[in-house]
Amino acid sequence: MNIKFIQSCLSLAFLSLAMTTTALADEGMWLLNRPPRDLLKKQYNFEPTPTWLEHMQKSTARFGGGSSSSIVSADGLVMTNHHVGSGQLKKLSTPKRDLLLDGFYAPTLAEELKCEDLEVRILMSIEDMTDRVNAAAPQGASAEQAATAKRVEISTIEKAAEALTGLDCQIVTLYQGAMYHLYSYKRFTDIRLVWAPEQQAAFFGGDNDNFEYPRFNLDTTFFRLYENNKPYQTDHYLRWSSTGATEGDLIFVVGHPYSTNRLYTVDHLKFLRDTSYPTILQKLWRREIHLLTFSARSYDQQRMAIDALHGTQNSRKAFVGSLAGLLDPDVFAKKVDSENKLRSAVKNNLKYFADWGDAWDQIAQAQRTHKEIYVRYTALKTRRSVIRSELFDIANHLVQLADELPKADDKRLDHYHDAQLDSLYLSLFSPAPIHEALEIANIESGLSYLAETFGADDPLVRKLLDGKSPRARAELAVKKTRLGDIDIRKRYAAAGKTAIDASTDPMIALAVAIDPEARALHKQYETQVEAVEAQAYAKIAAAQFAVMGENIAPDATSSLRLSFGTIKGYTESGEKIPAFTNMGGIYNRSASRNNKPPFDLPQSWIDHKDQLDLSTPFNFVSTPDIIGGNSGSPMVNRNGQVIGLIFDGNIHSLAWGTVFSGKNARAVGVDARAIIEALRKIYGAIALADEMMQGHRK
């Protein structure tokens, strides 16, 4: 669950403010079926062919809940970031085999470790369904009616497509509802771990260096897709570049940027700046300290919490940066200015004004409502409540399932539609270990947050605590629940409402107690905020199209996108930062920090230093437009060959949420040459390096 958490936070963080009147040089997360042909031709004299585009599409994959990855051999080898795979590494660890600490390598297929609850999806086709979805909303419908009608139609289309193709089919909403595309994915659930470095090598410099540059991180992990218990065989895989790239080269990033919101109005941004981000940060600061103190008690606890801790630190840093962006008066003034221009253009055209003129006030009203319910809604929200516990999530799902499954598909809450059930069950019935100590601490912390925020005499808080202290209530719920047993979960899922109503399980009781208010707040959010925003932003998007033309990429929506740019250093406080670091640099940086954590080197790197070519390029910065969710995206050259792997953006790229700029904001990648050098000389993973260089296993 942690990966998802990182992404959703990051994506929010990377929110974009300014609406530029013309797209800047390398701006845009483009659709694979609507690439920026003119721009690429004009600027880089590059024309992507349909074959090139299809190959990129089918050689990349959505990893887990929403990260990115690529297929890098004909035998289904998958490359992603270590920080994307670390949730799985944790689950595959045991007290005796700490994969995060020690890394892992399976020289043979037989030694690969099967992940228990991971899914990877390859996008097989894209179809435009805009007309069908729009036609579903009756003329003159209210925001809520229109949204419902469209949801029904979307669900119908998805189901029909699944029945026809056997693929995993989802409608992606683009340009705030100006376009609806049907994405059909081939879904893999048998995925096995092939190789991972020590976390020290992947996350060298820790939270300290996160979002910084220069960097020295081998943030890379390999998995393998299986079909029918055999490695997935495909011609669509990315070839490894034998030469790598150099400064100034045109490169592409293909991945799943999670979400941007470049249309957001000034009022909406003020809501984020003054309400949403501060509330989120309060929770992140609190949670980070909670996880730090929990981790400090013992190595065992450290191992349990490390993934959640990194996710929290990552999000915290992203939100601090994003808030700093919103508190920059220059950025805000620019946004106000561009909004004023667009609104003037709309005001000066009678038809425009009649169609879209009220959109901004509607957004403002939605923000007022959202502000009223925000703290309480986000604290209680099902699946994202402040009670961060696997067992509580399971209980919550079971309670929701019992309510939702009997309903018609289109009436259900999100996450409980038929098309989503396979994924839901995979996570619900996962045999991944659940750590009792962390569960207790997390539930205690969540219950205490509710008491701190709403007061211990709040009726819901009293109901949840049930006459106990947060600690005692958490201990009871975790120690007495039977939801650790997968068969029990299955029985609840099968029996539905009757079983929930009859349950005396204390974890189920917690979920049942929180459900009514969470549900009511969600309804209010859905109808008075989300639906209003959806309609109003569709108007603003339409106005933007009308005034500025369509040559703008749609906001990121976690669907597959193509970004482009060049490898390029930058200047920081007058100092020139070169584009590339090299492998020798990690030894220097470690020495300069007395080899102390988080700058300590794994033993393997110390032992094999002499064998390494220290001048091998290690990390590099480049200009493509990326955002959270792009973690694990391959970086390829004109020939579609792998030259690197996205793993981060520098601190200035946090402002890409606000205005895209190639001045000193950069995407940060691992160089493909460093991956091969490390595999061969540090990790002795010769077969793996050969597989990538040759494109298939021996």
Residue 476 Cβ vs its own copies, minimum distance, rounded to whole Å: 13
List 328, 403, 436, 526, residue binding its own copies (CB under 8 A): 328
CB < 8 Å & 24+ apart, contacts of 139-143: 143/531, 143/532, 143/534, 143/535
For the chain, what is the largest distance between any 2 Cα atoms, rounded to a whole number of angstroms?
73
Could you tell me which of 21, 46, 16 has the C-alpha nearest to residue 564? 46
Q: Does 452 bind its own copies (CB under 8 A)?
A: yes
Q: Segment 460-479, which members bind its own copies (CB under 8 A)?
A: 465, 467-471
Q: Segment 21-50, which members bind its own copies (CB under 8 A)?
A: none
Residue 543 Cβ vs its own copies, minimum distance, rounded to whole Å: 26
Residue 593 Cβ vs its own copies, minimum distance, rounded to whole Å: 8
In DSSP terms, 67 is beta-bridged to 63
Residue 288 Cβ vs its own copies, minimum distance, rounded to whole Å: 6
Give one word for 39, left, alpha or beta, with left for phi > 0 and alpha for psi -120 to 50. alpha
Q: Does 451 bind its own copies (CB under 8 A)?
A: yes
Residue 456 Cβ vs its own copies, minimum distance, rounded to whole Å: 6
**Residue among 270 and 519 whose Cβ is closer to its own copies:** 270
Residue 292 Cβ vs its own copies, minimum distance, rounded to whole Å: 8
Q: Does 327 bind its own copies (CB under 8 A)?
A: yes
**Residue among 281 and 419 whose Cβ is closer to its own copies:** 281
The span of 96-104, 271-279, 528-536, 610-618 binding its own copies (CB under 8 A) equals 271-279
**Residue among 236 and 593 whose Cβ is closer to its own copies:** 593
Return the CA Rg of the chain. 25
The per-type count for the chain, helices as H runs and strands as E runs, is: 28, 21
The span of 131-139, 144-152, 277-285, 643-651 binding its own copies (CB under 8 A) equals 277-285
Q: Does 208 bind its own copies (CB under 8 A)?
A: yes
- C-beta neighbour count of 402 within 10 angstroms: 21
List 278, 406, 549, 578, residue binding its own copies (CB under 8 A): 278
CB-neighbour burial class of residue 238 (10 A; exposed 0-12, middle 13-18, buried 19+):
buried
Residue 323 Cβ vs its own copies, minimum distance, rounded to whole Å: 7
The sign of the CA dihedral 41, 46, 52, 57 is: negative
Residue 632 Cβ vs its own copies, minimum distance, rounded to whole Å: 25
- State both tokens at 676: 């091969």
Going along 179-296, which residue ranges are E strands?
179-188, 190-196, 221-227, 230-231, 250-255
Strands 168-174 and 190-196: unpaired
Could you tell me which of 16, 4, 36, 219 has the C-alpha nearest to residue 117? 4
Amino acid at the residue 95: P
Q: Does 18 bind its own copies (CB under 8 A)?
A: no
Q: Segment 389-448, which members bind its own copies (CB under 8 A)?
A: 448
**Residue among 281 and 547 whose Cβ is closer to its own copies:** 281
Residue 519 Cβ vs its own copies, minimum distance, rounded to whole Å: 25
**Residue among 206 and 695 whose Cβ is closer to its own copies:** 206
Could you tell me which of 628, 619, 673 has the C-alpha nearest to residue 653? 628
Place of tokens 């660890």: 93
**Residue among 298 and 611 whose Cβ is closer to its own copies:** 298
List 34, 159, 236, 273, residue binding its own copies (CB under 8 A): 273
Q: Segment 282-321, which members bind its own copies (CB under 8 A)?
A: 282, 285-286, 288-289, 293, 296-297, 299, 316-317
Euclidean distance between CA atoms 409 and 348, whole angstroms: 44
> Is residue 56 within 8 Å of residue 619, measured between CB atoms?
no
**Residue among 140 and 467 whose Cβ is closer to its own copies:** 467
- C-beta neighbour count of 227 within 10 angstroms: 14
Residue 486 Cβ vs its own copies, minimum distance, rounded to whole Å: 30
Euclidean distance between CA atoms 202 and 107, whole angstroms: 20
Q: How far is CA 275 from CA 144, 381, 539, in A?
A: 25, 17, 25
**Residue among 187 and 371 whose Cβ is closer to its own copies:** 371
Residue 313 Cβ vs its own copies, minimum distance, rounded to whole Å: 9
> Is residue 32 within 8 Å of residue 341, measured between CB atoms?
no
**Residue among 473 and 561 whose Cβ is closer to its own copies:** 473
Helices (H), 216-326: 266-271, 277-296, 299-326
- Per-residue x/- track, 222-261, its own copies (CB under 8 A): ----------------------------------------
- State both tokens at 404: 């939702």
The span of 266-274, 435-443, 601-609, 663-671 binding its own copies (CB under 8 A) equals 266-274
φ, ψ for residue 325, nearest 5 deg: -60, -45
Q: Does 455 bind its own copies (CB under 8 A)?
A: yes
By rule CB under 8 A, what count of residues binds its own copies?
A: 42
**Residue among 438 and 688 whose Cβ is closer to its own copies:** 438
Residue 614 Cβ vs its own copies, minimum distance, rounded to whole Å: 24
> Is residue 44 within 8 Å of residue 33, measured between CB atoms?
no
> Is residue 589 within 8 Å of residue 599, measured between CB atoms?
yes
Residue 325 Cβ vs its own copies, minimum distance, rounded to whole Å: 9
> Is residue 322 within 8 Å of residue 284, measured between CB atoms?
no
Q: How far is CA 58 from CA 32, 47, 71, 234, 683, in A?
A: 11, 19, 8, 9, 30
In DSSP terms, 582 is beta-bridged to 617
Q: Does 274 bind its own copies (CB under 8 A)?
A: yes
- State both tokens at 196: 């991972």
Residue 253 Cβ vs its own copies, minimum distance, rounded to whole Å: 28
Q: Does 457 bind its own copies (CB under 8 A)?
A: yes
- State both tokens at 142: 């209210």
List 24, 354, 456, 686, residue binding its own copies (CB under 8 A): 456
Residue 467 Cβ vs its own copies, minimum distance, rounded to whole Å: 6
- Per-residue x/- track, 536-575, its own copies (CB under 8 A): ----------------------------------------
**Residue among 37 and 299 whose Cβ is closer to its own copies:** 299
- Per-residue x/- track, 590-609, its own copies (CB under 8 A): ---x--xx------------
Strands 168-174 and 113-114: unpaired
**Residue among 234 and 365 whose Cβ is closer to its own copies:** 365
- C-beta neighbour count of 257 within 10 angstroms: 29
List 159, 187, 270, 384, residue binding its own copies (CB under 8 A): 270
Residue 373 Cβ vs its own copies, minimum distance, rounded to whole Å: 17
Q: Does 281 bind its own copies (CB under 8 A)?
A: yes
Q: How many CA atoms lie within 13 A of 555 on its CB side?
A: 26
Residue 328 Cβ vs its own copies, minimum distance, rounded to whole Å: 5
Could you tell me which of 150, 130, 129 has the C-alpha nearest to residue 138? 150
Place of tokens 């961060």: 388
Could you tell me which of 253, 213, 219, 204 has the C-alpha nearest to residue 579? 213
Binding site for its own copies (CB under 8 A): 206-208, 270, 273-274, 277-278, 281-282, 285-286, 288-289, 293, 296-297, 299, 316-317, 323-324, 326-329, 448, 451-453, 455-457, 465, 467-471, 593, 596-597
